[in-house]
Amino acid sequence: MNIPDVTKISNYLACSSDTRSELVVLIRRGDSIYAQIDIDSHQIAAFDDSSVEDVQRVADWLAQHYASRSTPSERP
């Protein structure tokens, strides 16, 4: 989820009053969600498509790494 301007969302709950944009990418494999990468910025529209793709690649790698280290009963 790429939120270019968090001030446009009435019910947005910020970790910091200085947050202006946020990028959240799930670390998932199939239907299993292991964690998320959550990046805030003080700049409006700080994350472009390239940023999203880069963070998604990291999330995909982490999901694969996590799945390879989990026990069979924990695997999706």
Range of the domain at 9: 2-74
Model confidence pLDDT, tens digit, residues 11-44? 998 889 999 999 999 999 988 899 999 999 999 9
CATH code of 46's domain:
3.30.450.40
User: What phi, psi does 72 have (nearest 5°)?
Assistant: -55, -35
CA distances from 6 to 16, 17, 58, 65, 66 (A): 11, 10, 24, 32, 31
The span from the CA of 59 to the CA of 65, in Å, is 10
Q: Count up the domains in the chain and report the number.
A: 1
Q: Does pTM surpass 0.75?
A: yes
| pLDDT tops 90 at residue 50 | yes
The pLDDT mean for the chain works out to 91
| pLDDT tops 90 at residue 69 | no
